[in-house]
Amino acid sequence: MKICCIGAGYVGGPTMAMIAKKCKDVTVTVVDLNQSRIDKWNSDDLPVYEPGLLEIVKEARGKNLFFSTEIDQAIKDADVIFISVNTPTKLYGSGKGKAADLKYIELCARNIAKVGGGDKIVVEKSTVPVRTAQMVKEILSEANNTHSYEVLSNPEFLAEGTAIKDLENPDRVLIGGDSTDNGKKAIEKVVNLYAHWIDRKKIITTNLWSSELSKLTANAFLAQRISSINAISALCEATGADVDEVANAIGTDSRIGPKFLKSSVGFGGSCFQKDILNLSYLCKHFGLPEVANYWNQVVEMNEYQKSRFVQRIMDAMFNTVSGKSICIWGFAFKKDTNDARESPAISVCKRLLEEQANIRIYDPQVSKATIIESLSIDESDSRLTYCESAKEAAQGTHAIALLTEWEEFKKIDYDDVYSSMQKPAHFFDGRNLIDPDVLKHSGFRLSRIGKV
């Protein structure tokens, strides 16, 4: 079997590397428009930082795993084509700021129709609004050739930072398709692929629309848990309750469960906000404004949490950060990734810059270029200093804001850091990562989410 995956991003790259590793009888070609991204996939400096990924890529690359910009050729040769291109929030026209922009998916479908090369199974891997497969089907059915196309939905549930673990041992694999004979055959083919390493009991098959909607719903439910606990964190600060204690107390109820109850400066990443906005937009489109508002509130709570965090900084620092220097530890939207898309650090830093603070940023994996681009500032902007270590970033600052839960921040010599800072030195822990006992002797004024 030959597989082609269009889109060599955070989803396409790791997923295809795992399929190649587990299915030695399958040839996997990952294609992308972006030449420099493909060049990186073909080097030891991968475009995606993900623990364990490089080893897997090195093991399979050049044997049954290939990265290329020869998109048409790879489509032509493939039996199964995964579409893994981005579906960002639309930035223009109708649905601006809410709907998913499906132009890349549509381009892929048109290209598949144009290129031909025999019968194919086309699999939506990207997260898409429910009923997107209808659009893909219609485009393919108008292809100027005699080939037949089966469209499936197989959303990816991996989380960044744990992608390899999640791919190796997923909670479930979801495959949606038509219940026609050809639809069932196509589903079976993709089920067999995953069955190389995943127990068949974990492979769920559904109709197309259930599969598409399940992905949006899963992300909405996960994000809702974070917004729920973050809402309670504000009440904890007002009442003297401790949000971690509350999370622990409710999480031991097996009906609630312990995961995804970590209060934070807010959720980030390329999926949660985009998918909830999209879900909410769909609800409006289908005449369900109350349902739309219900889900929208999850995003609003997240915005509130980020602005509340900056407000706490302002309050603690005598209502002004103007001319002060603030150290930012962590810029990625979570640990173990170089991805900063929708990271809460972006909103926090932008607000601090608006308040005329100078910021010194250190993140173990996020590049200077990514930071500058996501803050929409000039490379020469003197308000930002990019640092090579946590200690260097703290030097001479009035406060540290910890925004990503990188493990290395737990292992720092806090007395040493404190002595290099302006006094009074503040520590704003946006992830409740640092044990307050560790800071106790150093003299920091500590402020944590959901704690007084």
Which residues are identified as catalytic? Answer: 271
Tell me the backbone φ, ψ of residue 46, rounded to 5 degrees. Answer: -65, 150
Decide whether 282 or 417 has the Cβ nearer to ligand UDX.
282
Q: How far is Cα 370 from Cα 348, in angstroms, rounded to an integer?
A: 16
Sheet of strand 80-83, all strands in order from the earlier edge strand to the far edge: 65-68, 27-31, 2-6, 80-83, 120-124, 149-153, 173-176, 203-206
Smallest separation, CB 67 to ligand UDX (Å)? 11
Which lies closer to ligand UDX via its Cβ, residue 161 or residue 397?
161
Q: How far is the CB of 171 from ligand UDX (least distance, A)?
A: 9
Nearer to ligand UDX, 228 or 442 (CB): 228
Smaller CB separation from ligand UDX, 425 or 449: 449
Amino acid at 103: K
Whole-number minimum distance, CB 172 to ligand UDX, in Å? 11
Shortest distance in whole angstroms from residue 358 CB to ligand UDX: 25
**Which residues lie near ligand UDX (CB under 6 A)?**
6-12, 32-34, 37, 84-87, 104, 107-108, 126-127, 156-160, 219, 222, 226, 260-262, 264, 267-272, 333-334
DSSP states of 19-75: HHHH-TTSEEEEE-S-HHHHHHHTSSS-SS--TTHHHHHHHHBTTTEEEES-HHHHH
Phi, psi of 178 (to 5 degrees): -75, 155
In order of 74, 343, 347, 384, 386, the CA distances from 379 in angstroms are: 38, 20, 18, 9, 10
Q: Which residue is nearest to ligand UDX (CB)?
A: 9
CA distance 182 to 177: 10
- The token pair at 311 is 């407000």
Decide whether 24 or 131 has the Cβ nearer to ligand UDX.
131
CB-CB neighbours of 66 under 10 Å: 21
Minimum CB–partner distance for residue 330 and ligand UDX (Å)? 10
Task: Give the nearer residue to ligand UDX in terms of CB position, either 54 or 442.
Answer: 54
Question: Torsion over CA of 174, 178, 180 and 185, rounded to 10 degrees?
Answer: -40
The CB-of-69 to ligand UDX minimum distance in angstroms stands at 9
Is the Cβ–Cβ distance between 342 and 331 less than 8 Å?
Answer: no
Measure the CA–CA gap between 231 and 243, rounded to whole angstroms. Answer: 10
How many angstroms separate the CA atoms of 292 and 277, rounded? 9
